[in-house]
Structure 1
Amino acid sequence: MCRQISDGCVSRGCGHYIQTTVVAIADCQSRQCRLSSSHAPSCRGPACRCNQTYGPDIERTTSTKPGLCDQCLEARMAQGLHA
Structure 2
Amino acid sequence: MGRVVNGPKASGSSMKNPGIKRDERRLASIRSLLALTELVNLRLRFLINLGSQVISLVETMPIWQLFGQIVYIRLVE
TM-score of the superposition, structure 2-length normalised?
A: 0.25
Bigger-Rg structure (1/2): 2
- Highest relative contact order (Cα 8 Å, sep 6+), 1 or 2? 1
TM-score of the superposition, structure 1-length normalised?
A: 0.23
Higher strand share: 1
